[in-house]
Amino acid sequence: MKQTETKHPVFAVVGHPNKGKSAIVSSLAMDDSIAVSNIPGTTYRRQSYPLKVDGKIIYELYDTPGFQRARQVLAWLKSHDVSADRRHEVVQAFLNTHRDDSRFHDEVELLTPIMEGAGIIYVVDASKPYGEECEAEMEILRWTGQPSMALINHIDKEDYSAEWKRALGGYFQIIRTYNPMQTDMHQQIAILESMAQLREEWTVQVKASIEFFLHYREQMLERSAAAITRLMHQALSHVERLALASENANEDDKARLKERYKAYLRTEERTTQAEIERIWHHEHLHAEITPMGFEQMDLFSEESASVFGLTRKELLISGATTGAVTGAGVDLLFGGATFLLGGAIGAVVGGVGAYVAFDELSEVKLLGKRLGKRYLEMGPMQNRNFPYILLGRILYYTVMVAARSHAKRDSLTIAMDSTFKERWLDEKVQKSLEKYHKQWRSGKGMDDEMLKSYEALIEKILKKLMEEL
């Protein structure tokens, strides 16, 4: 199919082996399933990777094998003496002649999408000196007659980009620097804008792709905010119950209920992390990280409370926002402000007796049930600090995942950032959040309008954090 017959731009990413072609495709297509390796020959066949939004293809990229016998191919082309306007016919004749020739397998694979109408993105590694062997590759691409641009990748620290730019200038209309391992939205849009300049009839299509791309990013932020809202609502309003075999509850029963309650919260956090990974097209990321996503930093650890939790001053603001706190509520206000190591013991009623702790998440209640059965109940969440720890952690995780290039294949390492809370939580935001947290802690639930309002607040916070990247 010719490029002019498609409703979206198509580009073939080509070059010498091991120059980062697959990493560039992975980055621009937002696809972390593409094999990226420093071993030559990882890409054996051409493969299409479309970026879709709501089922519509924004643009399509072909990952291709690297040139292997460029000089021999160019010699074959030059043996056919034709005018410049017919050179593309010779390239097509080469493909027809050698399609089943194993010697030229890689060249056939990479030239086929180009001759079907794809624009050319030629990739070089500026950390290596310019070599004349690339001239045969660039000349072959010029024979195709397709519009082309060059991307200068920096795989290592050395920089020979000046000499590469001089050499590439004789072959390509546009030359850009692009590091797929450090890419962000602005770099991706810059590359798309460069693609729009390659051919006049592509301009409208590519410009439309940029609009779709920006809209898509807005969608990902909205979906992230919705996932975080669901997490917060479920975590703070959840009630865990444990049926008892006897009329009374012993310490083992209470400990078991507490662990079940904490396990539920951990599971909800991890489920939301996985959803965030899917939203930002990092479906393969979760297999490469620790279960909680934070090394040595459990949801109920002192480190989490220290980095993401409220200070005592902020807790007082929280208390003032929602009314005076007295009695056991004082424990819930300050319990876990520094440690947040444990769960509910609280006041146990119904003949079991009263238990008081200073690291409370919620009360444990002994309640009756039909037919005379008894059960322990824990929740909704009463600790005023916990919502900010949980929210801070998932916001931080979302920002780290959203900022990660799809070309990276190493494990996602999330280092603690003691300044993160300062970047999103101030007194005004805290007071706004506390209204919703109080409603969820009350066990009264929340209507759709209030959930949407909380979601909008989270989205605003996320956008602010993203802008700072």
Question: Is the pLDDT at 25 greater than 90, yes or no?
Answer: no
Copy the structure tokens of residue 39: 């071993």
3-class SS at 212? helix
313 closest CA partner among 425, 416, 435? 425
Residue type, 75: A
H helix or E strand, kind and range, residue 60:
strand 56-63
Question: Is the pLDDT at 376 greater than 90, yes or no?
Answer: no
pLDDT, tens only, 119-137:
999 999 999 999 888 999 9
Which residues lie across from 57 on neighbouring strands? 52
Q: How far apart are CA 38 and CA 41, in angstroms?
A: 9
Mean pLDDT over all residues of the chain? 80
How is the chain split into domains, by residue range?
3-198, 218-240+253-322+381-467
pTM: 0.74
**If pLDDT is split at 50, 70 and 90, which confidence band does 322 have?**
low
Q: Find the mean pLDDT for residues 269-287.
A: 83
34-48, 71-85, 144-158, 317-331, range with the lowest pLDDT: 317-331
Q: Find the mean pLDDT for residues 268-273.
A: 94
Domain 3-198 belongs in CATH node 1.10.3720.10: no
H helix or E strand, kind and range, residue 32:
none
